[in-house]
Each structure stands twice: as structure tokens, then as C-alpha cells.
Amino acid sequence: MENILDSAWLGLTVAVQGQNLLMAFVGVLVGTLIGVLPGIGPLATMAMLLPISFYVPAEAAIIMLAGIYYGAQYGGSTTAILVNMPGEASAAVTCIDGYQMARKGRGGAALAVAAIGSFIGASTGILVIMLFAIPLSSLALAFTPADYFSLMFFGLIGSTLLARGSLLKALGMILVGILIGSIGTDASSGTQRFTWGVLELYEGLDITPIAVGIFGIAEVIRNLATHSLGVGAQVEKVTSLMPTRAEMRDAFPAMLRGSAIGSVLGVLPGGGALLSSFASYTVEKKLARKPDEFGHGAIQGVAGPETANNAGAQTSFIPMLTLGIPSNAIMAILIGALMIQGVVPGPQVMTERPGLVWGLIMSMWIGNIMLVIINLPLVGLWVSLLRVPYRILFPCIVLFSAIGVYSINNSTFDLYAAAFLGLLGYVFVKLDCEPTPLILGLILGPAMEENFGRAMQLSRGDPSTFFTHPISLGFLIASALMVAMIALPFMRKSRETVFVED
């Protein structure tokens, strides 16, 4: 306990340094902005800003990028409630009841409950991170290469379970990601592979052109085909922000349940904000005394998911911070940012760079307080942004993407790569292939190969090493259980219903 308090104090001294405070503010401000705007998400934004994060110290960079992610969770609810469009994917369920509340003149209350819930959820999530960070990372320091390989295997299998759509396609996308990740110089032998004689590929493809292409550019092309671009959004009026006492009485238990659901689901591989909000909505609907109110402006339907998505957004940092393993595509980008800064992600970061890890954790408190202030009194400002139509927005997204991709290496090759991957990303959209597993495979692939090789070397080529190490065996059994669960008709069915609204 004392250990945690000491670390927290150290983190706080880092987080309140001028530059870090400023970057936290920039992060949550940008996060709110892109959260409010539909058509651009935190993934593409973080990918675009990755190169710029190179120009500040690691602490400030990671604090800003993290702020974009959790800030977007606040902003997304504003659009969901006032326009009936998810500004952010994880706010999709908030539309259902939030918009109905707005139409009944209770939009202000819905916004307030969403912001309060977000803060409670985020606080719970940060507390969970603080409690588990040190024990988990010291546990992970004892992992053998075989254990690490099985842990990553477990993470990848888990992410397919929680991915939307066909499992076989999600598995295929992981493998495509691993293959793309193997382009460049093989870490253990130094051999060039899959470079096709292209000089720029000798160091491998950077994550920036891949993420900007697949998530940013492909998304713009998709929106151009589907959106009606001519008009800005129709925005419901905001009245008083104060919820009534009855509304708070209904909302508060939902917030507590949402905190718990989000904190647990955020840690799972493939989990995070999106899954947490869907799960919370389902639970609230089941537990409600008057379930028929759902869909007609039930405040629990706003309070639960909006709390859960923030709790999940925070706890999804745990595997990344303690094990160096991303649980979702956002964390994969953050790991990419750390690697650009020369920090090798893994359990040793906690002891080697405690200021970095705890500075980030403590900055989340500061960032969340800023977010409540940015979002509630200034809601009018964000709403006016929604009147900006997509026909003006998308050329700006394209230009920002281009500048971001180019500036990372001052390389035009990266731009052409991003264009090619944008095309590939659009093909994935057309084929209904979820791109998230690809990014996870891309980040985990090289580490898996390295740990597989080392485990095999240590066991002198005996593959049973994966089953004789207890930790490794545990992860493999857990993976097998997950696969078995997906095969059950009941699980398959509920998996389909959870993601049907995406």
C-alpha cells in the first residue's frame, strides 16, 4: 500500500509539470473534439498525431495520446444525446435513451448524468489500475519466453472472441497483421525479409501509415459513399443541466454497476470502452424495474453505459502498462508511440521508468477533472461544432493524415504506403473484415516470433515446453476454453446480439 502511495506521489509530481499539464489538456481537448464529431475516431487521430508526439518527451507524448482516448469517451456522448448519432462507437447505445431524453426536454440532464457517470467510471478504473499495476508487473517479470508466447496467444484468441463478425475472418486478419509485421529485418538473425528490394522497407513498415491508412483514410472513403454530406446535423436544444432528484436516484446505482462492469471488461483482450458500454446497457435493461421505459428515455440507459465505457477505457491500460501487451487497437498505437520514443514496452517499464507509468496514471485524474469542466459548461461550443458538415470536414482529415504520415520520417514512401493501406482498408470494409485484429497481430507478431524462438531454444526444440510451464499451460487452457465457449450455440447467439447495433 505504502508502495502505491509513494508511486502515486512520484506520478503526481510528474503529472503537474507544466509541459505535461499542457499536453494532458491538449489531449483531452482534442479527444472531446473528435469524440463529438462523427466520422473521425480516437484511433485515426492518435495515429495522425503520433509523429508529432515525437517532438516532446515520452511522458508528455503518452499523456497527450491517452487523453485523446479517454477524452473521446466524454465527447461521444454529447453527439449521441443531442443528435442521435454516435460521435464515438462506444456511445452507440447512449443514442437509444439519451436522444429520447433530449426530445423530451431532458437533454441537459442526460448530458450531466453522462458526464458525472463518466467521471465516476473513470475514477474507479484509475483506482483499479493503481491497485494492480505493481503486483501484475512484478508477476510478469517472472514470465519465461514460453509463458509470454502463450499470454500473447491468449490475447489474440480473446480479441477474436470479442471482435464483431465472423471468427474465421478475425483469425485471418490477425495472421495478415503478423505477416505485415514480419516485413523488414528479422530481429534474431538480422536477415532482410519481404522487402522486395525496397529500401524503405528494410526497417519494416511504421505503424503510422498502417493505422492512418486502415482507420483514417479507409473510413473517409467509406463515409463518402454513405453519408449525405450536404447538411450539418440537426441538434436538439439543451435546457437545464441539473438532473432531478428522481433521475439521480435511478442513475446512481446504474453508475456503480457500470463502473464494475467496465473495470472488469476493460482488462480483457479485445475489451475496452466499446464492449463495456454494450454490456452495461444489456445489464441495465435486464435489471430495470420498468424495462419498457428503455428506448423511451430511461436514464439508466445513459448512466450505465456512459460510466462503463469510461471505466473500461481506463482499465484497458492495465495489460499495456504492466505486461506490454495491447488489449485493443488503441493500446497498440500507444505501444507504437512508446517504441518511437525508444521505450521497450513490458513489465520492466514499471521499475525502469516509474515516472512515465505513474505520471500517466496520475495525469488521468487531472485529465478527467478537466474533461468534466470542458464538457459541461462548454457544451454549447461543442454543439455548434456539429453544424460543421462532413463535406468540409473530410478534406481536413485527409490533409492532417498526409502531414502526420509524412512528418514521421519525412518520407514520401510512407504516404504511398498509407494510400495503399487505405485502399486495402476500404476493401476490408467491403468484405466485412474487422481491422482491429490486424493491428493487434501487427504489434504482437514480432514479439511472439521472438518469444517462440527463445522458448524453443531454451527447451532445445521440445514443443512440450508450452505445456510444462504452469503459467503458459494456464493461458493455453484459458484459450481453449474461450474457443470452446464460442462454439456453444448460446454464446454465439449472445455474441451476435451484443454487436448487432454497431
Partner 1 sequence: MKRSISHPQDFWSGVLFIAVAVLFAVSGRNLDAGQLSQIGPGYFPRGVALILGLIGVTLCARALLRKGQSLGFWSVRGIVTVLGAVIAFGLSIREMGLICSGLATMFVSFLGTPDARWLEAIAVSVIVVIACTLLFVTGIGLTIPIWPRFVV
CB of 324 to partner 1, least distance (A): 19
Query: In the complex with partner 1, which residue's Cβ is closer, 377 or 395?
Result: 395
**Which of 412, 414, 38 lies closest to 220 in space, CA to CA?**
38
CB of 233 to partner 1, least distance (A): 15
CB of 60 to partner 1, least distance (A): 12
Query: In the complex with partner 1, which residue's Cβ is closer, 262 or 445?
Result: 445
CB of 156 to partner 1, least distance (A): 12
Query: In the complex with partner 1, which residue's Cβ is closer, 381 or 396?
Result: 396
Query: In the complex with partner 1, which residue's Cβ is closer, 299 or 402?
Result: 402
CB of 428 to partner 1, least distance (A): 8
Cβ-contact 62, 337 below 8 angstroms: yes
Cβ-contact 469, 144 below 8 angstroms: yes
320: cell is: 499495456
- 8-state DSSP, 470: H
CB of 285 to partner 1, least distance (A): 28
190: cell is: 538480422
Query: In the complex with partner 1, which residue's Cβ is closer, 164 or 169?
Result: 169
Spatial distance between the Cα atoms of 50 and 206, rounded to a whole number of angstroms:
11
125: which residues sit within 8 A by CB, 6+ positions away?
A: 259, 262, 263, 266, 310, 311, 312, 313, 314, 315
Residues that bind partner 1 (CB under 8 A): 51-52, 55, 166, 168-169, 171-172, 175-176, 178-179, 182, 186, 188-189, 191, 193-194, 196, 217, 220-222, 224-225, 228-230, 389, 391-392, 394-396, 398-403, 405-407, 410, 412, 415-416, 418-419, 422-423, 426-427, 430-433, 445, 448-449, 452-453, 456-457, 459-463
**Which of 368, 355, 364, 367 lies closest to 7 in space, CA to CA?**
355
Q: Helix or strand or coil: residue 184?
A: strand
Query: In the complex with partner 1, which residue's Cβ is closer, 138 or 384?
Result: 384
Q: Helix or strand or coil: residue 193?
A: strand
CB of 173 to partner 1, least distance (A): 9
95: which residues sit within 8 A by CB, 6+ positions away?
A: 80, 81, 84, 85, 86
Query: In the complex with partner 1, which residue's Cβ is closer, 105 or 395?
Result: 395
Cβ-contact 110, 81 below 8 angstroms: yes
CB of 399 to partner 1, least distance (A): 5
Please list the residues that pair with 185 across neighbouring strands: 192
Spatial distance between the Cα atoms of 393 and 155, rounded to a whole number of angstroms:
36
Please list the residues that pair with 184 across neighbouring strands: 193
CB of 256 to partner 1, least distance (A): 40
Query: In the complex with partner 1, which residue's Cβ is closer, 21 or 419?
Result: 419
- Identify how many contiguous H helices and E strands the chain contains and give both numbers: 24, 2
Backbone angles phi, psi at 340, to 5 degrees: -60, -35
Query: In the complex with partner 1, which residue's Cβ is closer, 176 or 331?
Result: 176
Query: In the complex with partner 1, which residue's Cβ is closer, 117 or 177?
Result: 177
Spatial distance between the Cα atoms of 68 and 45, rounded to a whole number of angstroms:
8
Which amino acid, one-letter code, is at 129? I
State the distance between the two ends of the chain, measured CA to CA, in whole angstroms.
41
Spatial distance between the Cα atoms of 387 and 366, rounded to a whole number of angstroms:
30
Cα dihedral sign, 368-294-271-49: negative
CB of 153 to partner 1, least distance (A): 13
